[in-house]
């Protein structure tokens, strides 16, 4: 079976890969983490498009039957470049549109908060898509949060101080829901929820994205045995290898790709 | 006059450029911040060498008369690659060796702490150079600190929580001095000092590096007028443009370089 391609700037997108693997049992994944260039969240739209396009070409050339852009910064800034790269025959799923569709269903006319990297928030994509569906958006960049989680600072004083700095002004107190607009944030969803009033729902994107991927292949039946996945990274370090377990939920073997040196 | 080339993974190396500009009044600088690939601190030695080599070639081709590797991660992992790239006629100054020479003079046989990125500390360069000069090294990676400073979290609860996490175990309580082994750290030198006993000296590298650069050109007299510097970045964003002032101490104009797309 041809694999489903999933890519991210690093290993955070493994939270999305995990959800897709759980939903599409039996389908192999080909994951590409662009650790040579991470994080995308501080980089310019032009550069993010350049990286995303090259990776998408590569995944297409590896025979992928669909592409999941498992990175909010890339979904917000480079979706057109990804579609151009893979052509009309390979469906592309991003991590923004399935979430906004869900929000509009669940909280019609509601007020929705979104936090993410600077590249994600400054692109304005969440804000535009929500406005088009009659939702009111309250968006804020929380740039250091992903790095803090990647470094293992969760559930402690550092992430508490960060969440206080980013959410402590009560800016999200009157929203119906808060979207975790970065693949790293689900790891501290509970801690984020504690910084919000009880009525605010925290929206977990990976499951919604996995549902969107599954809807592309309605005929596919669940397999009994788990498929063999492959996980490529453009720069291999011990630290990424160790961190991968935290995001995928089990030990996996990261392979070094030489995409950027070929 | 031919410029002095200075490079870093981003804008943190501007603290070193500032010191060189102050010490070498009248000499133009050509600064290159590799913002397309920052941070280097989490990347592999192979990749850091690849980036440093390409940038050094570029600075040589632009006519630089000396190269300053204003990045601890690159100095620790890529000095040989830089020297190979520029050849024997262009002197190369890094940010590690001048500091270790100073330590051996000032605290002979002393016990010295060093904090830096993962790439810097894991390379073991500080530790090897100190051991060769009879110093005892106590080295520790403090990976999130540079990003926190770059994001403007200094002198507040977030950097306090981080310093407590990194220094709060008293691991550096019995050192004579602590080296700030990352170009970002001088911005919070006072705050770091408050997390250490009063007898621990905090070593500020940029001035020592500037002195090493000046020693290459002993004939050069101080000019009355400041020289014209140029500041290139491989990825240009508003955020970098704004942050540059914090590190260089005055407003400067960052120019976009297309080195990685040529």
Contact A36 B35 (CB under 8 A): no
* Chain B hits for A53, Cβ within 8 Å: none
The per-residue pLDDT string of chain A (262 residues; one tens digit each, 9 = 90 and over) reads: 999 999 999 999 999 999 999 999 999 999 999 999 999 999 999 999 999 999 999 999 999 999 999 999 999 999 999 999 999 999 999 999 999 999 999 999 999 999 999 999 999 999 999 999 999 999 999 999 999 998 888 888 999 999 999 999 999 999 999 999 999 999 999 999 999 999 999 998 999 999 999 999 998 877 777 789 999 999 999 999 999 998 999 889 999 998 987 6
pLDDT at B221 over 80: no
Please give the pLDDT value at position A223. Answer: 77
pLDDT at B60 over 80: yes
Is A259 part of the contact surface with chain B (CB cutoff 8 Å)? Answer: no
Contact A158 B143 (CB under 8 A): no
pLDDT tens profile B156-212:
899 999 999 999 999 999 999 999 999 999 999 999 999 999 999 999 899 999 999
Nearest to A43 among B44, B144, B235 (CB): B235
Q: What is the mean pLDDT of residues B23-45?
A: 95
The residue among B32, B159, B46 whose CA lies nearest residue A144 is B159
Please give the pLDDT value at position B100. Answer: 98
pLDDT tens profile B124-171:
999 999 999 999 999 999 999 999 998 888 888 999 999 999 999 999
Give burial (CB, 10 Å; 0-12/13-18/19+) of B38. Answer: buried
Least confident span in A50-59, B82-91, B223-232, B247-256: B223-232
Please give the pLDDT value at position A262. Answer: 61
Please give the pLDDT value at position A154. Answer: 80
Q: Name the helix (H) or strand (E) containing B68.
A: strand B66-69
Contact A165 B147 (CB under 8 A): no
d(C-alpha B232, C-alpha A152), whole Å: 33
Q: What is the mean pLDDT of residues B27-33?
A: 97
pLDDT at B219 over 90: no
Residue tagged 């569906």 (tokens): A133
Is B110 part of the contact surface with chain A (CB cutoff 8 Å)? Answer: no
Please, which pLDDT band fits residue B114 given cuts at 50, 70 and 90?
Answer: very high
The residue among B262, B208, B260, B252 whose CA lies nearest residue B31 is B252
Quick check: B87 and B131 in contact, CB under 8 A?
A: no
Report the share of chain B in percent with pLDDT over 70: 100
Contact B161 A158 (CB under 8 A): yes
Contact B165 A157 (CB under 8 A): yes
Q: What is the mean pLDDT of residues B73-100?
A: 98
Chosen from A43, A73, A77 to mutate, greatest number of chain B CBs within 10 A = A43
Q: Which domains does chain A have, with CATH numbers?
A: 4-94+208-261 (3.40.50.1860), 97-205 (3.40.50.1860)
* Chain A hits for B158, Cβ within 8 Å: 144, 158, 161-162, 165
DSSP A60-102: HHTT-SEEEE--HHHHHH-HHHHHHHH-TTS-EEESSHHHHHH
pLDDT at B47 over 80: yes
Beta-bridge partner residues of A67: A5, A92
d(C-alpha B26, C-alpha B7), whole Å: 19
Please give the pLDDT value at position A244. Answer: 94
Q: Look up the pTM and report it.
A: 0.94
Count CB neighbours of B238 within 10 A. Answer: 10
Least confident span in B128-137, B216-225, B234-243: B216-225
pLDDT at B262 over 70: no
DSSP B180: E
- Tell me chain A's radius of gyration from C-alpha atoms: 17
What length does chain B have? 262
Can A64 be counted among the known catalytic residues? no
Quick check: B82 and B92 in contact, CB under 8 A?
A: yes
DSSP A227: P
Chain-centroid distance of CA A254 in Å reads 18
Can A182 be counted among the known catalytic residues? yes
Is A155 part of the contact surface with chain B (CB cutoff 8 Å)? Answer: no
């Amino acid at each position: 079976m041809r694999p489903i391609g999933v890519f991210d700037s690093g290993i955070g997108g493994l939270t999305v890969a995990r959800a897709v693997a759980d939903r599409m049992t039996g389908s192999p994944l080909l994951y590409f983490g662009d650790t040579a260039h991470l994080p995308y969240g501080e980089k310019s739209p032009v550069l993010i498009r350049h990286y995303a396009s090259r990776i998408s070409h590569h995944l297409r050339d590896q025979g992928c039957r669909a592409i999941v852009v498992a990175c909010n910064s890339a979904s917000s800034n480079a979706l057109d470049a990804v579609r151009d790269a893979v052509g009309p025959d390979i469906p592309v799923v991003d991590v923004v549109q399935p979430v906004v569709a869900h929000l509009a269903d669940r909280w019609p006319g509601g007020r929705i908060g979104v936090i993410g990297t600077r590249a994600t928030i400054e692109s304005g994509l969440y804000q535009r898509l929500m406005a088009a569906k009659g939702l009111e958006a309250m968006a804020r960049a929380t740039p250091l949060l992903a790095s803090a989680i990647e470094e293992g600072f969760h559930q402690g004083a550092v992430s508490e101080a960060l969440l206080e700095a980013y959410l402590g002004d009560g800016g999200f107190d009157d929203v119906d829901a808060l979207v975790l607009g970065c693949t790293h944030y689900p790891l501290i969803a509970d801690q984020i929820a504690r910084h919000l009033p009880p009525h605010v729902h925290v929206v977990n994107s990976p499951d919604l994205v996995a549902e969107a991927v599954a809807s592309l292949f309605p005929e596919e039946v669940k397999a009994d045995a788990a498929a063999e996945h492959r996980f490529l990274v453009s720069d291999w370090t011990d630290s990424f290898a160790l961190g991968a377990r935290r995001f995928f939920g089990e030990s996996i073997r990261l392979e070094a790709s030489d995409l950027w040196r070929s």
